[in-house]
Structure 1
Amino acid sequence: MDTDRISTRLATLTREHLVPGAQLAVHHEGRTWTHEVGLAADAAVPIGSITKTFTAAVAMALVSDGDLELDAPLSDHLPGVAAGELTLRHLLSHTGGLPSDPEDVRTTSLRHHVRQALRELHPLHEPGAGFSYSNIGYSLIGHLIEVTTGMSWSEAVEAVLLRPLGVRARFITSPDADVVAGHAVNAATGRVVPVTQSLTPVDAPAGALAVSAADLVAFGRMLGGAAPHIMSPEDLALMREPVRHAEPFGMADGWGLGLALFQRDGVRWVGHDGTADGTSCHLRINPADGTSVALTTNGSSGWGLWRELVPELVDAGLPVADYDGMSGLHHRIAPPPDCTGRFRNGDVEYAVRAVDRERLALTVDGEPFADLSLFDGLVFAMRDSDTGDTNQTGRFLRDPGDGGIRWIQIGGRLARRQAAKVS
């Protein structure tokens, strides 16, 4: 692994993407190497949704201890919760059919929050029938952990995982949390503005942790099989195995129990990505050889930095895997008429309209989001309305019964078509 080349390229990409600071940590061939640009090595960066993998690891430790069951109805553990056929396996793999988030959060109690959401949110599909990325699903896992352990979610994460791991994480929902500030980056104007973290306490199990890249690598090594062993080898292996019907199109090549799956040259890597307010962070693990790679950035443009860094790492002798939805786009097609319309995921509305014979425009809750170019298989490339980036993809999905377009999937989230309004 050519660390000099990696250091030079990371510094260059950090400048080019206007990212104020970045940490890169790598464990490879028995040693750990770190490099920082504009941040201290031990600075805690809000890691957003990578928190979900920490929550999943705690839940799987409880499964190994016999305190939770993967396939038991949630009502077995949470009496009085209207969860239908939902199980912990569904929640961990985002196959429960739950929307992403409720918009109207009226409580600071995790218990009240998830029970209210289950009463009011409309499922996207039957449990186990598909994949839709869900933050509320991980809030529900957090509540399950609280009920099972008798501790708060943060106390359980600290006791079950962080302390054995030797990681000093910060919880960004704590008023005195010492965390790195995120930054909103406008590449067109060159403006970089500090932003504050806005996550609510009830969303904490889905995104409230802040750690360094070195901390993430230590966590990644554990998920690859190194000590500490907080769960059985069999349950750890389950986290890294693909779940049936978990198709996270636009995010990863597959999904396990709390871990995304990625492929490179026939080798399976696992990990997770996360964005908080003004941060972008990434974790990859190769269980076959124990390699663990983590990047943390405190700029909203860090995602683009990561996408450019991955091939540089490969050329430097570190063949890390990432998802590339653009590689499968071949034949451009004209959009069918039933691509247009309104689609809903929980309280979020996606609206698609035709711009001309070849392009569609997507708005989210009435705000311009992206221009869409359609390809074979109803897959589309997205041109971001704010940044102009064109490296993300989504797709439309047809109803297997009547053949009509029923869903749109963006960033792994499904949105169901809504009936046309009657004037």
Structure 2
Amino acid sequence: MSILDAAVLRQELGRLCERHRVPGAQLAVRRADTTVAVEYGVRSLGGGDPVTAGTAFPVGSVTKAFTAALALVLVEDGDLALDEPLAAHLPEFGAGEKVTLRQLLTHTAGLASAVVEPDPEVRCTRSRWVREHTGERDLVHAPGTAFSYSNAGYVVVGALVEAVTGMDWREAVGAILLDPLGIAPSFVTGLPARPGRPAAAGHTVRHGRNRIVVVPEQALHPVEDPDGGLQASAADLVAFAGLFLDGAVAGGPLGEAAAAAMCCDQLDDVRAGPAGMADGWGLGLARYTDGGGRDRFGHDGTLDGVSCHLRLDPADGTAVALTANANTGQQLWDELSERLAAVGLPAGNGTGTAALYAAAEAPSPPDCRGTYANGPTVLTVQQAADGLLRLASEGSPAYALTCRTGDAFSLHDIDGGPPLFAGRFLRDADTGRTDGLQFSGRLARRVRQGNG
């Protein structure tokens, strides 16, 4: 594959979209000062409108990297500090006497992963949500002791930005970050995309039923804008990556020291790292190793029927971004990233995650069955009638759970298909008993033992 040959990239993107039944996608590659962006397919099945360079895709949790960069601009301006408790800036943050901005940005603050959905009949601002759901009693673990991926933590960062700037998060991210980068602000919830900038719809590929279903709209409350509400193109994501690439930070909205901190692992002293997600975490960006000792950074994002991926290598000035409007975009990315890595582009999900998937199948830990909790999310590991393990959460589909050596496991659709997530069981250091699990980077503590 030629790195900057648009025809070759477009052909490869089209081939993989057909293989993984993705209706539409964008791929952008940057090397030095040259960016090549290609597109394939349609924004929505049945609509027929093509994906163009300017089509906005819901980028899900890639939004968190933008929110982190926005917060670090405020740190550089002296409005915030990374390692001071946040209660003075955000009194409504009940855990603010113990939690710092660094911990929020690195998912080590101890807040739950999921955001409790506000009552649709009650107007709920971010400030009010923070007051009601982020007290010390809501912490999953003691701040600074473990990694547990948290959407709720980035809602708090959004509220913090609003308290300091006096602007809504959308206004702040637009004025301080997006506009200087030449990115037209577009959001999943509330306001539509800017006139002339259409948005892609999500699609769910159902393996067992041979169907593709259009997702008419994203089920995301505006409270969650800072953790998942941004829409952007692959070229927009690569423009954002330019903040971290060698020689590209001068004159940008984010200073060189802050950009470097976002690309510097912060997790040396935690008990449990981001198993199943990455090999480490900086201030808002995940760290992925390539097997040769080289670090790449980036973020993944999913919403209903959408999968987006950003990778960058600050050392050699390269970046790659993929936006795909189907839930099978993850499998497309997995295959594409192997091709990209072979020609020297930053890609992949890291050696640690690959090791979890590749570990040999093994008997399940004898005490792994039971109930685990992460805030409002309750996970149950139980043995089904066919003798196989299942991992289920109320309101979500159950996954088939395959245990692997080293207390690792992988999760699959019950209908079949490739592994979707990886994780591991955690053991108490003193007793050796299973006392928790990490599911795609989310830490859940055991609350009950037994089969359901």
Q: Same fold (TM over 0.5)?
A: yes
Letter in 1 for 2:225: A
Q: Which of 335, 339, 342 does residue 368 from structure 2 map onto? A: 339
Q: Which of 28, 31, 41 does residue 31 from structure 2 map onto? A: 28
What is the CA distance between 1:18 and its match in structure 2?
A: 1.1
1:82 matched residue in structure 2:
94
Name which of structure 1's ranges 334-343 and 54-63 shifts more when overlaid on structure 2.
334-343
CA distance 1:323–1:391, change in 2 (3 Å): farther
Q: How does 1:94-113 map to 2 (within 5 A)?
A: 94-106=107-119, 107-113=123-129
Q: Which of 45, 53, 69 does residue 57 from structure 1 map onto? A: 69
What is the CA distance between 1:302 and its match in structure 2?
A: 0.7
1:304 matched residue in structure 2:
331
Whole-Å separation in 2 of the counterparts to 1:186 and 1:193? 8
Does the CA-based 8 Å contact 1:353-1:362 persist in structure 2? yes
Letter in 1 for 2:426: L
1:237 matched residue in structure 2:
260
3-state SS of 1:56 partner: helix
Does the CA-based 8 Å contact 1:358-1:374 persist in structure 2? no
What is the CA RMSD across the aligned residues, in angstroms? 2.2
Structure 1 unmatched runs, 5+: none
Q: How does 1:2-13 map to 2 (within 5 A)?
A: 2=2, 3=5, 4-13=7-16
Whole-Å separation in 2 of the counterparts to 1:326 and 1:239? 23
CA distance 1:358–1:250, change in 2 (3 Å): farther
3-state SS of 2:319 partner: strand
2:426 matched residue in structure 1:
397
What is the CA distance between 1:356 and its match in structure 2?
A: 8.7
Q: How does 1:286-365 map to 2 (within 5 A)?
A: 286-318=313-345, 320-323=347-350, 325-328=353-356, 329-355=358-384, 359-365=388-394
Q: Give the TM-score taking structure 2 as reference length.
A: 0.88
1:199 matched residue in structure 2:
220
2:240 matched residue in structure 1:
219
CA distance 1:129–1:354, change in 2 (3 Å): same
1:263 matched residue in structure 2:
289
1:66 matched residue in structure 2:
78
What is the CA distance between 1:262 and its match in structure 2?
A: 0.7
CA distance 1:276–1:320, change in 2 (3 Å): same
What is the CA distance between 1:398 and its match in structure 2?
A: 0.9
3-state SS of 1:338 partner: coil
1:152 matched residue in structure 2:
168
What is the CA distance between 1:192 and its match in structure 2?
A: 1.7
Q: How does 1:111-122 map to 2 (within 5 A)?
A: 111-119=127-135, 122=138
3-state SS of 1:170 partner: coil
3-state SS of 1:51 partner: helix
3-state SS of 2:128 partner: helix
What is the CA distance between 1:66 and its match in structure 2?
A: 0.5
CA distance 1:292–1:82, change in 2 (3 Å): same
Name which of structure 1's ranges 107-116 and 370-379 shifts more when overlaid on structure 2.
370-379
Report sequence identity in percent. Answer: 44
Name which of structure 1's ranges 56-65 and 347-356 shifts more when overlaid on structure 2.
347-356
Q: How many residue pairs were aligned?
A: 422
CA distance 1:310–1:97, change in 2 (3 Å): same
3-state SS of 1:54 partner: helix
